[in-house]
Every structure is written in C-alpha cells, then in structure tokens.
Amino acid sequence: MTFKDEQGIHTDFKEKMTYGDYLDLDSILNAQHRLSGHHDEMLFIIIHQVSELWLKLTIHEIQAATDAIGNENFDSAFKMLSRVSSIQNQIIKAWDVLATMTPAEYLEFRDHLGQASGFQSYQYRMVEFALGYKTPHVLKIYEKDAELHQQLKEAYEAPGLYDVSIEALAKAGFDIDSDVLNRDLTKTYEANESVENAWTQVYQNVDDYWDLYELAEKLVDLEDWMQQWRFRHMKTVERIIGHKKGTGGSSGVGYLKKVLDHYFFPELWNVRTRL
C-alpha cells in the first residue's frame, strides 16, 4: 500500500491546524542555539531540553497526585505516580545518550557555558520541593527573575507528596505525632517514629489498609527511580569531567555523591528492616 492509496489523508492545511502547529514545533526545533561550532554541543543542548520537558510533566503529575491524595482519591493518585515512575525511566535513559560524549569533546565547548549549569534547573528544584527536600540556599539562584522566584518560594512553602501521605495515615486512624502533622514545611523532612510505626502496621495488615499499602509502594517506586537517576547523573558527570568543579560552582561529583545518601521517604525504607 502506498501513500496515494490512502484517499482519506488530509493534504490541504492552508486554513487548518497541522501537527507542527499544535505542538509549536517551530519554537521547539529552533530553540537549540549552539555557542560554539562543535558538533556535540547539539547533543548537550537537546539532552537537557528533553529532560526539562520530562521534568515539567513530572511536576504536573506529582502536584495532581498530591491533590488527589489530599482528597482521598487514591486510584487517580496511583495512576499519576505510576506515570511519574515511567517518566523517570525515560530521563535515566537520557544519561546513556549523553555518556556517548567524551571528555575531549565536552572540553571543546565547556567554556562557552560560562556559569550556566544543570544545578540551576528550577524544575528539578520544584521536584525536590514536592518530595520534601527543602534547601533554602538554592532560592537565591533565582532572585534574578522575581516571578520565577515567587513560584519557587510557593512550592518551597507548600505541603509535598509525603506530607499528604502522612496526613492520609492520620485520617486512617494512626497515631501520628502532632509535631509532624504541624511541622514547618520549609524544613527538609526527617524520619519520625510514629510515622514508621504507622507504615509498619500498614505492611503488617495489607488487606485492612490496601490503599495505604499501595500508596507506600508507589512512593518507594518513585524514590527508587529518583536515586537511580541521581546515580546515573553522578557517573555520567564523573565519566565526562572527572572531579572538576561544575560550571555552576558546585563540587560536581562530590556534591552528586553526597545527595545519594538522602532519603525522601525514610520510614518506608526503615520499615523493611523492621518487618
């Protein structure tokens, strides 16, 4: 079968919206502005742009899942969190593509980046904030743009995915410490015994707390993928620049190794030892 056999295919788009129009492809495909003449800078730009698009969808899904859990609409939240895990898998695969670039190739255009760095990704910070990892010093990076700074400040002060999950435990009748339920949301979440006790009971009584059990497993999936992403990021950076400082001034591999030790949902990992 050939194209001419498909009589129903639309070909006249003088007055109609095309695929490219709908996706605004002119803007997207013309947003790659190399600052050097080096071939591999195109790879570097596109990998990071694609990752930012996936991060945008991740934020969209996590925020919706957070609202759904707060309203006890668990089925919708599970769908969204499963999608986030699939997105994370895609972002991890992107590091494999970037790793095809050698140190010598990266050095050909690295100086053109100035102080620009993935460390400054505001969408990645919004994901961290949504997962309860609050780092106030990073907000200073975005003071250049008042509107963006305000958006990040609101995300920084808002309850995250784990906050509403802990509230769901309390609504189900578990005895959660009041200082957890009323904690300062601008602080990075730290493990609490009452929360760990609640999750332990959920895992020991799966049939009685199926929704909470499923929620716990979705959160573990998300954190597992997040840590795999962090590890692949660290190893890709080490492979390309070794232990040099990042362009944004961070310690590079040293910083990336340090954040690997952080847990977003610590009790859900501790409970595995207790069971």
Segment 28-72, tens digit of pLDDT: 999 999 999 899 999 999 999 999 999 999 999 999 999 999 999
For 95-106, b/e burial (b = at least 16 CB within 10 A) is beebeebeeebb
* CB within 8 Å of 115: residues ≥ 6 apart: 247, 248, 249
Radius of gyration of the chain measured on its C-alpha atoms: 22
Q: What percent of the chain has pLDDT over 90?
A: 81
pLDDT for position 245? 84
Residue 14: pLDDT band with limits 50, 70, 90? confident
Residue 98 has which token pair?
């970037």
Q: Are 212 and 168 in contact (CB under 8 A)?
A: yes
* CB within 8 Å of 5: residues ≥ 6 apart: none
Q: Could you report the per-residue pLDDT of 177-220, keeping only the tens digit for each?
A: 999 999 999 999 999 999 999 999 999 999 999 999 999 999 99
Amino acid at 174: F
Residue 91: pLDDT band with limits 50, 70, 90? very high
pLDDT for position 119? 83
Residue 2: pLDDT band with limits 50, 70, 90? low
Q: What's CA 6's distance to the chain center, in Å?
A: 42
pTM higher than 0.95 for the full model? no
Annotated binding-site members for heme: 233
Annotated binding-site members: 44-48, 106, 110, 233, 247
Residue 3: pLDDT band with limits 50, 70, 90? low
What domains are there in the chain, each with its CATH number? 43-118+163-185+192-272 (1.20.58.480)
**Mean pLDDT over each residue of the chain, to the nearest integer:** 93
In angstroms, the CA 157 to CA 134 distance is 9
**Is residue 13 predicted with pLDDT exceeding 80?**
no
Residue 4: pLDDT band with limits 50, 70, 90? low
Residue 10: pLDDT band with limits 50, 70, 90? confident
Angle 161-171/210-241 helices, nearest 10 degrees? 160
Q: Region 254-269: what's the mean pLDDT?
A: 92
Annotated binding-site members for substrate: 44-48, 106, 110, 247
pLDDT for position 117? 86
